[in-house]
């Protein structure tokens, strides 16, 4: 582990202000025989600037929980708190206000863009949303260029293109450039790396980390890959059948797992106990 990573891991987030919390958060789909408890009384505290991973297998309830966090799906039971206060999204106006603070990157980047909006319009929208409507053309151009540089995209080459003219990897980087401009308090990323090869995957994860370092946003990273979670997060929540079976600092949970489910997830990753770097070829071989 590099010195920088060690420093990163020594931050104690329990002392930081609360960003998003949940108490007894539950989602039940259907009724009677067809009832599915997708999320089952989960408690959590995510702090400012914390990089949290939620790890679990397919069907464990990760996306359902994300949708509740985003306010796209109401919870059946329990309470979600934003910055320590009960979250109120009961009216359209309040919902809009909440959405200024939380942004998402989804599994499928294609669904994130309006097909008929060119790349520069996508980025310009972000600047306008952040109150930059009155800025000069040059200032806006500089901001868009900076955002593209941040994710290693060349703005000049993209400006006249539609999102569907980009590669999957470029599109994901464009999504991160949007986040760079929007600077939300919370970024929720539901497996944003699924579309790209393992190499650009590491790059994208590094970009998310840089973004967190630069803006102090809270990142909630949803994945079934416990190796990735170990590499990237401060804190890990392990989800099984809608419940958090274990949570804590990434090092503690993953190097000294207590729950049998966590142990099983880890045993599926052969090299987890060795100190590895995601960018090495070794890891690619284990996939």
Ligand X SMILES: Nc1ncnc2c1ncn2[C@@H]1O[C@H](COP(=O)(O)OP(=O)(O)OP(=O)(O)O)[C@@H](O)[C@H]1O
Q: In the range 20-49, which residues lie near ligand X by CB under 6 A?
A: 29-30, 36, 38
Contact status: 111 vs ligand X (CB under 6 A): no
What's the CA gap between 168 and 163, in Å, rounded? 10
Contact 245, 258 (CB under 8 A): no
Of the two residues 36 and 160, which places its CB atom closer to ligand X in the complex? 36
Question: Which segments of the chain are extended strands (E)?
Answer: 18-29, 36-47, 51-55, 77-82, 85-86, 102-105, 186-190, 218-223, 235-240, 243-249
- 43-62 mask for Mg ion (x: CB under 5 A)? -------------------x
75 touches which of Mg ion, ligand X, none (CB within 5 to 8 A by kind)?
A: none
Q: In the range 59-98, which residues lie near ligand X by CB under 6 A?
A: 59-64
**Residue in 26, 63, 103, 235 binding Mg ion, rule: CB under 5 A:** 63
Among candidates 247, 244, 243, which has minimal Cα distance to 38?
243
Question: Which segments of 83-170 are extended strands (E)?
Answer: 85-86, 102-105
What's the CA gap between 197 and 204, in Å, rounded? 11
SS3 63: helix
Of the two residues 11 and 245, which places its CB atom closer to ligand X in the complex? 245
Beta carbon of residue 271, minimum distance to ligand X (angstroms, whole number): 22
Beta carbon of residue 38, minimum distance to ligand X (angstroms, whole number): 3
Per-residue tokens: 260: 């049998």
Beta carbon of residue 65, minimum distance to ligand X (angstroms, whole number): 7
Task: Point out which residues bind Mg ion (CB under 5 A).
Answer: 62-63
Task: Point out which residues bind ligand X (CB under 6 A).
Answer: 29-30, 36, 38, 56, 58-64, 224
């Amino acid at each position: 582990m590099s010195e920088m990573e060690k420093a990163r891991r020594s931050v104690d987030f329990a002392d930081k202000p609360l960003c998003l919390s949940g108490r007894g958060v539950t989602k039940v789909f259907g009724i009677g025989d067809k009832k599915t408890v997708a999320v089952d009384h989960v408690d959590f505290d995510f702090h400012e600037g914390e990089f949290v991973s939620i790890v679990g297998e397919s069907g464990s309830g990760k996306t359902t929980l994300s949708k509740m966090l985003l306010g796209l799906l109401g919870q059946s039971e329990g309470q979600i708190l934003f910055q320590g206060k009960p979250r109120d999204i009961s009216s359209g106006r309040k919902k809009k206000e909440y959405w200024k603070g939380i942004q998402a990157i989804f599994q499928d980047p294609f669904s994130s863009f309006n097909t008929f909006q060119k790349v520069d319009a996508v980025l310009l929208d972000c600047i306008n949303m952040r109150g930059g409507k009155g800025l000069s053309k040059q200032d806006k151009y500089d901001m868009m260029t900076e955002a593209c540089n941040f994710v290693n995209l060349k703005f000049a080459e993209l400006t006249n293109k539609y999102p569907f003219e980009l590669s999957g990897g470029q599109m994901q980087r464009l999504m991160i450039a949007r986040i760079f401009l929007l600077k939300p308090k919370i970024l929720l990323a539901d497996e944003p790396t699924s579309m790209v090869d393992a190499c650009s995957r590491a790059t994208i994860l590094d970009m998310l980390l840089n973004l967190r370092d630069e803006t102090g946003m809270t990142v909630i990273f949803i994945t079934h890959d416990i190796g990735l979670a170990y590499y990237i997060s401060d804190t890990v929540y392990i989800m099984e059948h809608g419940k958090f079976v274990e949570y804590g600092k990434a090092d503690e949970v993953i190097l000294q797992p207590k729950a049998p489910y966590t142990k099983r997830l880890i045993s599926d990753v052969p090299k987890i106990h060795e100190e590895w770097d995601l960018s090495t070829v070794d890891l690619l071989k284990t996939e």
